[in-house]
Structure 1
């Protein structure tokens, strides 16, 4: 069986003799094994080729994604540096504003932004506090820096809100300061000691007497709320306006009252007319300014000529 052979006959189309070839079975088996082996290798090579091609495509995608991520990471670093620089500038500007507005005065009971480091700590207001970033920073490190930036931004927001409240308060204070003349005329009696026109005694005159024609307009010198409008003894017809911050103004001897208690008035609003009511020797406006109930010289509040 081991030497079994196969005969292959080749018959020509012409009258040539028939050719016979004897092929051993073992040779055929070896040939079949060789073909199978070659086919197997070819199949494996083909599969490997496609796998390598697939891996190469995936590697290209990963390289592209990696390049995109690096670009985005660089952008994040740049944005962190920009935000950090902006916060540094805001911090310095905040301190300048506080220095100008005297918000560091402890009597104002307002928190001052840190200008000096606390013991055992470093100053937070350095130009490189948030900008010392390197190309080797990992996402975890960047997240930590972002958390610090967020905390600093919150602190700055609170500080700026405090400054905003201060400036709003100052704006309200300026609007409440009686800074214009309530009536146009001439001052016949100033603030201070004077002789009483009725008794000739030397007494304290707690306001200004502004002589003007009967019926001359009287204006509110600042924003406020009318707290009294009516008769008051020797002052005759009187208006009292509360401007806030302990400031009140009084207008006496009026011929006509054009507002009532509870009315809100603005600076320059028409509130009354000059008269001669009460204890008066002629048409004029008696004008007083009181701060926390204490009479003040109205002239020191008036800014207009």
Structure 2
């Protein structure tokens, strides 16, 4: 069977002869298939280019969103760290407030201070927890830590509500608690056992010695009534204030006494001046707090830093 073919006639201009070309049908099919293949490849390449361009645009958007999220995450971590340190301060203040209320020791008429935990007992310090939280990168981990932070804030809120209710019922007790420094200076001898500066024997020091310039003001740390003002042996000039609830404070070695027995004093009221009277090695204030006649560490009552 003869192969089918096509005749291609080319008619030139003017008087040139007509040219005839015979082309086999199979060649037409091959050329057409090749053109279709090239068109398909061109179309595929075009679609691939647009896909790559779209992916590149999406990747750029994702990078920008990622940078934004990183910035937001850093901001969240900083805020969490700030909240954590704030809660830590609230916790310490809460403990100190409870140290001067019945809430910290229901078996006594007045608590002497916060109960210290045994080593290794209790939860980690809030600062450690929140430092760990601030270093976490995983959003899931951050979410879990935030839940615990929220629970801690709720617990602190409940605790402070308890304290608020208690203080509303115990205003007179709070006003009578010696929570201020009686004078400002340097604590040269704390409460507890010490070597006597005169005999070098180890004896119990029933208060604290606060070194200060001669004549520096001495203030009442809380409301009360002066029950003694005068000379008392080795303590020199002495003032004793009864604050009620079995609490009394004593101020020794005074240069000047500005109150007398029977006077009512208010928290922060001026009562005396620092001196060097009695058995003293230099100008200082000897300050005692006694509850039902028993000496207590004055630091347990002082709320000021």
Query: Normalization by structure 1: what TM-score?
Result: 0.50
* Larger of the two Rg values belongs to structure: 1
Query: Normalization by structure 2: what TM-score?
Result: 0.50
